[in-house]
Amino acid sequence: MIKQLLNILCCPKCNNKIELSKNFLLCKTCSIAYPFFNNIPNMLIDDALDINKIDKKLMHSINTNKQ
């Protein structure tokens, strides 16, 4: 389902394609990541995270919520 969404969704900031990572939708053009909440991607620019500030600990903690 998410992969189907990826064909539709683009970065609301730059309108480029976004990539799916484990727990985030990534826009490499903007270097920001949109987190998932309850398996729904949060596409709000205000809630997007700086890719460079996301470390693996955060990815793991979010991942445990999904399991």
Chain residues that interact with Zn ion, rule: CB under 5 A? 11, 13-14, 27, 29-30
Q: Which is nearer to Zn ion, 27 or 33 (CB)?
A: 27
Residue 60 Cβ vs Zn ion, minimum distance, rounded to whole Å: 25
Residue 14 Cβ vs Zn ion, minimum distance, rounded to whole Å: 3
With a CB cutoff of 8 Å and minimum separation 6, the contacts of 24 are 33, 34, 35, 36, 49, 54, 59
Q: Which is nearer to Zn ion, 30 or 58 (CB)?
A: 30
Q: Which two tokens stand for residue 33?
A: 């990541």
Centre a 10 Å sphere on the Cβ of residue 34 and count the other Cβ atoms it contains.
22
Q: Which two tokens stand for residue 8?
A: 């539709």
Q: Which is nearer to Zn ion, 14 or 44 (CB)?
A: 14
